[in-house]
Structure 1
Amino acid sequence: MDSQKVDMFIMTYGKFFESTQIIGVRESLKNADESKWEIVQSISFKDPTTSLIVSLLGGPFGIDRFFLGDTGLGIGKLVTCGGFGIWTLIDWFLIMGAAKEKNMSKLMQALA
């Protein structure tokens, strides 16, 4: 893929990935076929900051996990009231990383 497109993607969507993943994202995009560009542009990434806000407001009800697409974990948090509060507290620290991991897996699936 064209290096200008790759740089534009990194500048636009860099916050959706871990800083350690950016190099891998750049290499994967450079090695990808030009036909994948439209697919990559159509991916809707989850904003890690939004997922943290959702977790702070609706974490005990599993809304944060439903937001990320983890339906099973969302149901588990809903049924246990956020793991009796413990799971909710842990997710406040881990939910942004989980969102970035989901974004990375979406990108890798699109490039496969």
Structure 2
Amino acid sequence: MDVSKVDLFLMMNGKYFESHHLPFIREHLLQLDESAWQSIQILQFYDPNSTQVVSIVGGQMGIDRFMVGDVGLGVLKLLTCGGMGIWAIIDWFMIQGIVREKNGMKLKETLASMSPSPTIADNNEQE
């Protein structure tokens, strides 16, 4: 894929991922062909900043965990009133990292599904 497209994607979406994931993402995006580019561009990622605000406002009810797809933890947080407030306060500091990790996993899964897997014919040619 074109280097300028990959760099532009990382500039626009870098805030959605942990900084240590960016070299891995860049490397794998460069290996993709142009036909996969549109599929990558339409991916929707969770915004760490808006999730932070939701965590501060509705963290005791588990809304932040429901937003990122942790339904079990959201129910547990709801039933315990945010771990009597302690868990809610801890999530104020951790939720952005959790969101970035979830975004990274989502992109890695998408990249893995798009990367060409070796076929039987390719394996026979190598032998």
TM-score (norm 1): 0.95
Amino acid at match of 2:70: D
Aligned to 2:74: 74
Percent identity over the alignment?
Answer: 53
> 1:47 offset after TM fit, Å?
0.7
Amino acid at match of 1:41: Q
CA-to-aligned-CA distance 1:63-99 (integer Å, 9 cap, x gap): 0011111111111100111011111111011000000
Amino acid at match of 2:100: K
SS for the counterpart of 1:46 is coil
Aligned to 1:43: 43
TM-score (norm 2): 0.84
> 1:10 offset after TM fit, Å?
0.5
Matched ranges for 1:56-75 at <5 A: 56-75=56-75
How well do the aligned residues superpose, as a CA RMSD in angstroms?
A: 0.9
Contact 1:60/1:77 (<8 A) preserved: yes
Give the paired residue count.
112
Amino acid at match of 2:97: G
Contact 1:48/1:96 (<8 A) preserved: yes
> 1:32 offset after TM fit, Å?
2.0
> 1:33 offset after TM fit, Å?
2.8
Q: Which runs of 5+ in 2 are unaligned?
A: 113-127
